[in-house]
Structure 1
Amino acid sequence: MEMRELIESITRELLKNMPIDKLALPKVLYIFCDSTAHEPFYEQFIKLSNHGICHDILFLDGETSSWLGMHRIECGGAGKVIATDEYAPAPLELPKEYDGIVIPEIDLDNAARVVTGMKGTIKAEIIFSALLLEKFVIIGEDIPGLKRSDRRCLRTLSLTAPYHKLFLKQIEEMKELGIEFRPQKDLADAVIQRLKGKKQAQPMGGEAEPVQEEPIFFSGKLLTSDWIMSQSRFPHQQISIQKGTIISPLAQDLLREMGITVQYIAKG
């Protein structure tokens, strides 16, 4: 490897790992009832990525696996994976590192806890903490009020009329607390609108100078869709790879959907 190429490779690695980039990017937390509920939101995640917004995903499979006693929660997402043992952060702590919380679906039980100021469940803890920290909370409005697990167990898709009336009342009370309700298909747009005016971190000593961003450089031998989704943004909608790098079929489809062009760089 030539000296120039070596220096360029080291510089790219250092710039990639600089914490200032992470601090400058806004980030939200999506909370789903189980590990399959996020699939319909795949295109929304792409939209967030294209607008320079990071996101993590919190899965609450069965909710009993997310007990508060040992602070155990299950989380996996585009940004990171939160530990699933006694060293995991308590749900009350999670909103500290996010600009906002997005909950596509909430049920009668959690809604009742939120409006009465009670905690005791993961969603209620996180919403309570986020509102106290003045972080925005967005919830899907086209929801039945029944947990996904309850719908599967009871084989019913909606609440009875009295329960539905109570649920609608709880939604109005949550709005009074500052919680925003939007259609599930518009959740990403609501996040982008909320974070539209968020300023990027500026260096000390005056105004920030414009930075000419270079395309992201992938130095591996196999480019996968998982690696693409792990990136927060693609400057100029472009990625640079070495000639001979293999692009998986899923990665090719994803690059095409995101409108990202591939630039090949000759070795040496």
Structure 2
Amino acid sequence: MEGIDPRVHIDHVVLRVSDVPRSVGFYGELLGLEPVREGTDGATLAPPGGDHPLIVLRPSTIPGRAPQEATGLFHTALRWPTLGGLGEVFSRLVHARYPLSGASDHGVSEALYLDDPDGNGVELYHDRPRASWPPGGPGERVGMVTRPLDLNGILDAADGSGAEDVDVGHVHLQVADLPAALRFWVDTLGFELMQHFGSEAAFVSAGGYHHHVGLNTWRSRNAPPGAHELPGLDTVAIGYPDKDALGDAMRRLDGAERLPAGVRILPVLA
């Protein structure tokens, strides 16, 4: 099967949350996105001044925490185009005393990790120039690493910029069976394998990006999906650049033998 169009990307995600106004405060006031629609059935957030959705919130049937040891979301990764912008959102987190769950220098990017109020994982990151990305090992396209992040340097870079050009750079999913997940994302949808960590994690992309989709079994090997009534990831919308590419994606999905457990995949025209 031919590879995927290099312009394909993650368009937006749909999340189930316990308290929509509370989550609007987190993704809006704290992270800097802007609500473009709010109602009894949820809310949509976009970059300031824009109307293209990045995060769509839907109320969960049952309030509570997103299941951690289940297939579904590991994190949604919001990508800042500049280090100054990442520093600015980090300074807001520090001022609000909002806790991080991690922070890493991945060689290809600088990343902060946290959870939203329902326990849905979130990554905030900035890419380094592609020419500086570490080379991969045998059979790999890129060599992502995990090193301590210079948090003071991130704070010092804050420049007062907003989230106007933020997008969803990637999504990272918890899966029950890594080989089965790779068969779907690579063999069915046509994404390219960029890096592989044995039987535990893999990263795939379009167009040579370090990854549009991460897959891991760290907390979810052989696990069932999280309960759909609880908070969690509902939908990953994949953006296709034209009708031909979108039609190709729909045909690939029609022929898929197995879809990802607990996550809806929605091709959209971006």
| TM-score of the two chains, using structure 1 as the length reference | 0.25
Higher relative contact order (CA 8 A, sep 6+): 2
Higher strand share: 2
Higher helix share: 1
